[in-house]
């Protein structure tokens, strides 16, 4: 005699004022350790000859990308005028040096290389050059962004991370939890507006686009200071470097280099990051 099949369990019916719990999500299984890379972004003296402003008291900042000299596709240009309102609002709300919030005149007629684009949670790079490690990222990995920012009210000391006059504030400005990495040349037409590398009239075949997971990725509303000037360069604070479990670069070197450094202990970095109670927003400014 055949064994009777068990009847399927009936789904609970909603009760007034009592939502039905959603089924538990299946966790993603990763087949290798999580990888985390530290990526310098934003305008600076090497690319744009300017640094975006930061309030050293509140750690609020304006995200200003580097210039982009590539020819853009029709309707895909990202002019520097787009950050004008954010810079004006930043200056209006605080007493600052006017030069700290005024874009150089030669940038006003140029396009931004809006990358990362926190609105769309994308980041692009060339998988065969400096960004080769970016092409190796996979779901669950981390892309951690930092910048050299110009304090609008210089002063302070190491205990209070406000750089002395003339010094920059090196800080984390965003974090992506990677969802997928795709080829820029294969991005569909309707999604070309999501990243600087796909806004080009002809995307480079070797470029890759990182897409991040919504809700756990974005720009930091308030940056997290990570370093200052020591040993003739900007470097990660020694105590912070120890907390993170070190970087692949020498002594926490933060100035631009050929290859972005990686975190030697991504889990330790992420534990520290989460302990800062960061607020991530899906917006550029």
Separation of alpha carbons 182 and 152, rounded Å: 38
Separation of alpha carbons 143 and 176, rounded Å: 5
**Count of beta carbons in the 10 Å neighbourhood of residue 154:** 16
Residues β-bridged to residue 146: 40, 172
pLDDT (tens digit, 9 = 90+) per residue, 211-224?
999 999 999 999 99
Q: Is the pLDDT of residue 78 over 90?
A: yes
How would residue 239 be classed by pLDDT, with cut points 50, 70 and 90?
very high
Please tell me the predicted confidence (pLDDT) of residue 32: 73
Q: Can you read off the two tokens belonging to residue 108? A: 């006003």
| Cβ pair 35, 142 in contact under 8 A | yes
Mean pLDDT of the chain: 85
Q: Is the pLDDT of residue 233 over 80?
A: yes
How would residue 21 be classed by pLDDT, with cut points 50, 70 and 90?
very low
Please tell me the predicted confidence (pLDDT) of residue 166: 65
**Count of beta carbons in the 10 Å neighbourhood of residue 96:** 18
Note the pTM of the prediction, 2 decimals: 0.85
How would residue 131 be classed by pLDDT, with cut points 50, 70 and 90?
low
Q: Is the pLDDT of residue 164 over 80?
A: no
Beta-sheet strands, E only, within the chain: 36-40, 53-54, 66-68, 111-113, 122-126, 142-151, 169-183, 207-212, 218-230, 233-236, 280-281
Separation of alpha carbons 228 and 225, rounded Å: 9
Please tell me the predicted confidence (pLDDT) of residue 259: 85
């Amino acid at each position: 005699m055949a064994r009777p099949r068990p009847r399927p369990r009936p789904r609970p019916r909603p009760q007034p004022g009592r939502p039905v719990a959603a089924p538990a999500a299946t966790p993603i299984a990763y087949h290798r350790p999580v990888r985390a890379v530290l990526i310098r972004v934003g305008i600076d003296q090497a690319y744009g000859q300017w640094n975006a402003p930061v309030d050293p008291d509140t750690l609020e900042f304006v995200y200003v990308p580097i210039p982009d000299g590539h020819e853009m596709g029709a309707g895909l240009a990202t002019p520097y005028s787009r950050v004008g309102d954010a810079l004006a609002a930043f200056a209006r709300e605080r007493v600052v040096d006017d030069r700290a919030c005024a874009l150089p005149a030669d940038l006003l007629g140029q396009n931004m290389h809006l990358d990362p684009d926190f609105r769309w949670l994308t980041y692009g790079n060339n998988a065969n050059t400096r960004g080769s490690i970016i092409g190796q990222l996979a779901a669950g990995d981390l892309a951690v962004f930092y910048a050299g920012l110009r304090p609008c009210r210089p002063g302070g000391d190491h205990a209070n991370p406000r750089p002395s006059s003339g010094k920059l504030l090196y800080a984390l400005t965003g974090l992506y939890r990677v969802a997928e990495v795709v080829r820029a040349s294969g991005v569909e037409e309707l999604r070309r507006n999501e990243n600087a590398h796909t806004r080009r009239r002809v995307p480079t075949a070797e470029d890759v686009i990182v897409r991040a997971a919504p809700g756990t990725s974005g720009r930091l509303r308030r940056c997290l200071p990570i370093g200052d000037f020591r040993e003739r360069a900007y470097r990660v604070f020694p105590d912070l470097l120890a907390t993170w479990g070190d970087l692949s670069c020498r002594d926490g070197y933060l100035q631009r280099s050929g290859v972005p450094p990686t975190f030697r202990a991504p889990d330790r970095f992420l534990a520290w990051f989460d302990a800062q109670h960061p607020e991530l927003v899906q917006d550029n400014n």
